[in-house]
Structures are given as structure tokens and as C-alpha cells.
Amino acid sequence: MAPHAEGPNGLANGSGSGAVNNDLFTVSSPNVTYTDNDITSKYTYRTTAVTKNANGKLTAANKEMAYEFKTDRRIPKTGVMLVGWGGNNGTTITAGILANKRNLEWETREGKRAANYYGSVIMGSTIKLGNDAATGEEIHVPMHDMLPMVHPNDLVVGGWDISGMNLADAMDRSQVLEPGLKTLVRKELAALKPLPSIYYPDFIAANQEARVDNVIPGTTASTAHVEQIRKDIRDFKQANGLNTVIVQWTANTERYADMVAGVNDTADNLLAAIEAGHTEVAPSTIFAVASILEGVPFINGSPQNTFVPGAIELAQRHSAFIGGDDFKSGQTKMKSALVDFLISSGIKLTSIASYNHLGNNDGMNLNSQKQFRSKEISKSNVVDDMVAANSVLYKEGEHPDHCVVIKYMPAVGDNKRALDEYYGEIFLGGHQTISIFNVCEDSLLASPLIIDLVIVAEMMTRIGWRLAGSEGEFKGFHSVLSILSFMLKAPLVPQGTPVVNALAKQRSCMNNIFRACVGLEPENDMTLEHKLFAGKSS
């Protein structure tokens, strides 16, 4: 059994700070420098700039910009604090990390199962490194080995919840994991109890009130709430000897906060509104503000508008990382892949109908119309960029009909049923209909994504950039971590930046930023070496 320790309010699996991962590969290039502490790469970023004249004629021109990237190779001891730690996702993540740390196996009615990180893009997928110099065979490496990344087994887990139930009992309440696995981790989880959270009744469904027994006093925004959350982060960090903490919202979906001039439109107004106890400041925004002021990344895994303009401005002011919104695990991930495939194949989608029913606590909360509306927005906008990219199929103002329905059905528990119909026009007035029935084991799909978000967010805190040839300091990336888009339904992007929802583009972005940090060119699937005839010249 691998050793582990329990810190105050946290499952501690950390291996100590300052470790450097074993390099699976090195890049042989004059543009890449390795030291014990850093990888520095010189990288030429190539894009195509397009201009349009008054007659609508387009002119395309190649554009280049030279950068230097510096990546700290020293892997910090990292903690993750989950808001909603006692929920389905929080208990599943905690049990899952412990199971992997201890290499657990357990019996199910389908036979023996073993701990793994399937469903994690970082831990379960690979990147093409290049082609074998002798045979031309493609060489792939685990994505986790592209850069020195935190291993999820080493994460220290803690957090808050409006329910004070210990994590073992909360795991039973969630009804996600197999009995055999629950038995093996029960003792450790029983010793873990969430910190008191904040509860503003107007922001979540009234049917959640029965769970509320572990809250910080006060039912509207306050500076005291911000300061308590900041103290909790500091205490957790100190108690577990951490170098870095990532905070992530995996609690209930909130209603949308109203945008009110003078309240949440600027950083200063938002801070003043919190101090004044304004009723349009959501709990998730309080956690975001506390994290920003404490200098730790905050990721929103629910669909509400946590990141009001004032919160985004505050993050930029403090150079703090934020990312969101809403975990993208099952139905929406399928949609963002399938719609991209159909439209890029020249098929004109004219309607998308998505129906869900689920029986977990998320489903019960979404039974309230205001909370459902937040989810409806995040699930409905995921096709917009793909439609806008094809002016052949869609004239200005055209858009497929898109309907999203979610119903609460207690009997199915965490095994969400997702039914989708895609209806489109094909050649000569014909039609194609694709119907999909998808059983999404909700928390078992979402939990690996939460781990991915932690790993990538932490990784980005160790990457700096500057213009090539500059003697200036290396800067961090933009406060809005759009590199996280692959894992999120409604990805937050810097103001003025187009939102990308197409799944392949999101994955390519992440792959190629990692490649740039080690001085490799973007992935290239042209394989000209196999396509060009090397015969006699004419």
C-alpha cells in the first residue's frame, strides 16, 4: 500500500516540492535550452492575416512573430480545493485519486476492476511527437509527458461544502462508486469533512435547503466571506506544506446574476458591492474574488455567469488565472465533435434537439427553472462558431434550430440519459437524421476533466513568454485561460477573442502550445514525405 497522509481538511498525497519529472524525450535544436530548473525555447508563430477591400475581395498574407517560452521544470506540491467537495464529483475525485495512489483493485458483477485515469485527456491520451527517422512510423508520447506536469496521485484534495457530511457518507449519498471500491477507501474518506461554505438561498434551488448544515454565517455577499475563504486557502496551503493551490467550483448550478451598472461591471464596483452586501453577487463570484485576491487560479465548472465583467477585470489587475464555464463531459462533448464533423463535411444542419434526464443532485437542482436556464445557455451556444465559419451553408443570420431539455428523474441516479437528434439537408433536397442515445455516467466522466483542469492550470503558472530577442522579464499568459476550452462547455476567452467550441480545434490548441514550449513545430498531418513522387524530373 502506497503511503498517504491526511492533513487538516485534506487528503494529502503529495510527494514534496521541487521534483522534476523524468524526461521521456528531449528536443535536439539550437532553439531549445535545458537547465536543471527550466526549459527555454525560441518559437516562430506563423499565422495568416486576411484583409477585405471595399468590393469584398480578400487578400491573405503570411505573418510571423518570434517568441521565447520559459517553462519551470520544478513540479510544485499542489493542492486542489473544491467548492462542493461533498458532492458527486468531489467524493468521486477524492476516492479516485486515493484508489490510483494505492493501486486498488475491487470486484464488480462484471469482474475485477482496477484504478485508472481513463477519461482524462492529460493522463489517458497521447500526442504525436513526430515520425521515426528510419521507418517513418508515427511516434506518440503520453500527453502528460510533453511537459513537467503534476501527477494527480500527488494532489492534495480539500474544499468546502454547504453539507457537513463526512466524505465517506457523502460518497454513499452520491451513489456513484461500486460497493467494493467504497469499502476500500471508506476509512480514509470518513476522516475528511468539508469546510463550511457560503450559502445564498436565492442563487440555488429551494430543494437544496435540506442539505444546508455547514455554512459561514450570512446569506448575502460580504467582505467577511471573501476574507474567510482567503484564510481557508492560506490555512490549507500551510497545513499541507503546499507550494500551489487551485480552486475549482464543482458545486450546484446557480441562477444567472443580473448585470447591474455600478455593481458587477468593474472590479472596483464589484468589491464595493460585496462590501455593501448586494444581492446580485453570487457565491461562486465570492469564491472567484477570494481566489483572485489570494493569487490562486479559480476555475468555474458550472454554467452560471460567475465571471461577471468586474471579476474578469479584477483577475487581470492581479494577474490571476481564471477559467470557465461548465464541465464538458458527455452530451455536449459529443455535440461539439459531431456538429464540427457534419458542417465541415458540407452537410447543412437545420435542427439539433437535445434531451436529458438524470437523477442526481445536479438534476434535482436543475429542476428549478432559474438554474436550468444557466445550463440551457451553456449547452446551446456550443455550435455557434462552427455555424459562423461556414458562409456557404449558412447565410448571414441563419442558424440551426436548437432545443435543450433537462428533466429530473430520480430513478436513474448519476447515469444520465442523453438523447440527441441532428437533422440536416444534403444533396438535391435530401435529408439526413442522426439520432444518438448516450448513457453518460455523469460523475465518472466529469471527475477526470476536473483533474485535467487542475493539471493544466497549474502548468500554466510555470510558463512565461516574451518577444524573441527581448531582454525583458518573461510574462505570464492572459488571465483568462482559454487553453482550458477542451474541458468546458462555455469556454471563457479574453475580451475581443473569438470563442472556439469545435472540439478538434480546442485539442489542437492545447497540443500545440505544449509543443511550442519545448520548441517543436505544430502538429502537421500533411505527410508530404509519403505523398510526393520522388521519380524522374520532367
Q: What is the pLDDT of residues 453-469, one digit of tens each?
A: 999 999 999 999 999 98
- For this structure, is 384 an active site residue? no
pLDDT digit string, tens, across residues 487-516? 998 888 898 888 898 889 999 999 999 999
Q: How confident is the model at residue 313, as a pLDDT?
A: 97
Give the C-alpha separation, 514 to 176, whole Å: 34
Q: How confident is the model at residue 21, as a pLDDT?
A: 55
Mean pLDDT (the chain, rounded) = 91
In one-letter notation, the amino acid at residue 532 is L
Find the helix or strand (DSSP H, E) in which 423 lies: strand 415-425
Q: How confident is the model at residue 383, as a pLDDT?
A: 87
More confident residue, 66 or 332: 66
Asked if pLDDT for residue 255 goes beyond 60, the answer is: yes
In percent, the amount of the chain with pLDDT more than 70 equals 93
Q: Which of 340, 375, 420, 442 is catalytic?
A: 375
Using pLDDT thresholds of 50, 70 and 90, give the confidence band for residue 380: low
Cell 450546484 -> residue = 252
Using pLDDT thresholds of 50, 70 and 90, give the confidence band for residue 184: very high
pLDDT digit string, tens, across residues 44-53? 999 999 999 9
Q: How confident is the model at residue 10, as a pLDDT?
A: 53
Grid cell in block for residue 476: 505570464
- Max CA distance (Å), the chain: 84
Q: How confident is the model at residue 94, as a pLDDT?
A: 98
Asked if pLDDT for residue 263 goes beyond 90, the answer is: yes
Give the C-alpha separation, 144 to 126, whole Å: 8
Asked if pLDDT for residue 22 goes beyond 90, the answer is: no
Give the C-alpha separation, 477 to 464, whole Å: 7
Q: In this structure, how many other beta carbons lie within 10 angstroms of the beta carbon of residue 496?
A: 5
- For this structure, is 375 an active site residue? yes
Asked if pLDDT for residue 203 goes beyond 80, the answer is: yes
Give the C-alpha separation, 101 to 184, whole Å: 12
Q: How confident is the model at residue 375, as a pLDDT?
A: 64
Is-contact 451 90, C-beta < 8 A? Answer: no
Asked if pLDDT for residue 277 goes beyond 90, the answer is: yes
- For this structure, is 326 an active site residue? yes
Q: Which residues pair with 467 in a beta bridge?
A: 67
Q: Which domains does the chain have, with CATH numbers?
A: 5-14+75-327+444-463 (3.40.50.720), 331-441 (3.30.360.10)
**What is the pLDDT averaged over residues 100-109?**
96
Lowest-pLDDT range of 356-370, 444-458, 516-530: 356-370
Using pLDDT thresholds of 50, 70 and 90, give the confidence band for residue 13: very low
Q: How confident is the model at residue 6, as a pLDDT?
A: 40
**What predicted TM-score, i.e. pTM, was given to this entire model?**
0.91
In one-letter notation, the amino acid at residue 194 is P
Q: In whole angstroms, how large is the CA radius of gyration of the chain?
A: 24
Using pLDDT thresholds of 50, 70 and 90, give the confidence band for residue 187: very high
Using pLDDT thresholds of 50, 70 and 90, give the confidence band for residue 378: low
In percent, the amount of the chain with pLDDT more than 90 equals 73
Asked if pLDDT for residue 518 goes beyond 90, the answer is: yes
Asked if pLDDT for residue 275 goes beyond 60, the answer is: yes
Instruction: Say if residue 166 is exposed, middle or buried (CB neighbours under 10 Å; 0-12, 13-18, 19+).
Output: middle
- For this structure, is 416 an active site residue? yes
Listed residue (195, 240, 245) closest to 7, CA to CA: 240
Q: How confident is the model at residue 5, as a pLDDT?
A: 35
Asked if pLDDT for residue 17 goes beyond 50, the answer is: no
Give the C-alpha separation, 66 to 68, whole Å: 7
DSSP secondary structure code for residue 428 in this structure: G
Lowest-pLDDT range of 99-103, 117-121, 273-277, 326-330: 326-330
Can you state the angle between helices 331-344 and 503-517, rounded to 10 degrees?
100
Q: Which of 72, 232, 325, 326 is catalytic?
A: 326
More confident residue, 166 or 366: 166
Q: How confident is the model at residue 363, as a pLDDT?
A: 74
Using pLDDT thresholds of 50, 70 and 90, give the confidence band for residue 104: very high
Q: How confident is the model at residue 8, as a pLDDT?
A: 40
pLDDT digit string, tens, across residues 341-367? 999 999 999 999 999 888 787 777 777
**What is the pLDDT averaged over residues 96-105?**
98
Find the helix or strand (DSSP H, E) in which 388 lies: helix 384-388
Asked if pLDDT for residue 379 goes beyond 80, the answer is: no
CA 165 from chain centre, in angstroms, equals 27
Give the C-alpha separation, 484 to 506, whole Å: 8
Grid cell in block for residue 175: 451513489
Q: Which of 325, 416, 420, 442 is catalytic?
A: 416
**What is the pLDDT averaged over residues 442-446?**
92
More confident residue, 325 or 484: 484
More confident residue, 16 or 257: 257
DSSP secondary structure code for residue 208 in this structure: G
Grid cell in block for residue 518: 519545448
